[in-house]
Homo-oligomer: A and B are copies of this chain.
């Protein structure tokens, strides 16, 4: 397999973007990415989107997006694994280059979520759960994660304050991110006192509904050295795994097997241990998710994630910064775009161009992107050479 580098990254300010359509968002992120890369060569396109069918009545993005990028005729593919769709778009691009099938592959993540009413968005998102055994009975994602949070609190003594501190930290980081949907800070008290969504989770424990896109351009590492003006950043490890889709079918609702396996797989491929990683972007769709993912990846002992957050272990200045971008919580969570935006952030940090939210001595970063209640997970490790 050939070594693969990330030679360009593109984002835009996320939010409730009524004036921009799905295709506009993809084109804007992609053009920003090509400008950043300093090349407009694309051989192939991968697109991560969870459900543009339900959100926008538009499937076949593999035809639509190259068309509106002015690149019809290029091969293109849309990939999906719920909220892990973006990460899979990057993995698919990586394999296409590693195999020798293509050289320059543009990976785009997209979701335009605010054109449907609130109820419909919740339904669309719930299609990431087991429709017959979960969705049909009325469970939604806040409900699923609330059950995990309750169990975590009972088993490990995790407190409401610890959960809320994930949001406090991520909003603090996000307040330094010009692309974040909600770039404001919140206090621990504000999080706890915000409106209840599914006990114990309140509104500010939940990531928002967002319109957004992100894009990264991948190329063989040899080619990157030749043409790219940026420091050489390679994808040195990828892990990808799945789990039982329904929470009720797992032996333990606090065990995220796919997260553990994807992390171990990426570390093995990169030839590293978790202690050799400098920082991470992780899938904080709800505050409890960030805590569980930290534990599953071995950043902290099981049950100690909440305490570590409150102690500042994962703050921007902490020993292991988590979600310097602001995470899904503050940056926003356009589901199919999230995994690509995580990789955007890792590259921005590894280049040392993340401005006020720059992680010190960032040489190796990890992006962990999860689908559903952990039914799928894809993890990338990137290094600056």
Contacts and interface: CB of A to CB of B under 8 A. Distances in A.
A242 B74 contact: yes
B60 A129 contact: yes
A371 B245 contact: no
A368 interface: no
B81 A63 contact: yes
A124 B57 CA distance: 8
Interface stretch (A46-54, A151-159, A359-367): A46-54
Interface in A59-89: 59-64, 66-67, 72-82, 84, 88
Contacts of A81: 60, 62-63, 76-78
A241 interface: yes
Give the interface residue-count category, chain A. Answer: 35 or more
A362 to B, nearest CB: 27
A16 interface: no
A56 interface: yes
B371 A60 contact: yes
B128 A60 contact: yes
Interface in A79-134: 79-82, 84, 88, 91-92, 95-96, 98-101, 123-124, 127-132
Nearest to A132: B21
Contact of A242 (B54, B57, B63, B129): B63
A67 to B, nearest CB: 5
Contact of A53 (B53, B62, B242, B246): B53
A159 to B, nearest CB: 31
B258 A73 contact: yes
A76 B293 CA distance: 20
Interface in A15-33: 21, 23
A304 interface: no
A275 interface: no
Contacts of A56: 131
A127 B78 CA distance: 14
A210 interface: no
Contacts of A92: 77, 92
Given A57-B123, A67-B375, A78-B81, 4 more contacts: A60-B82, A60-B372, A60-B376, A98-B101
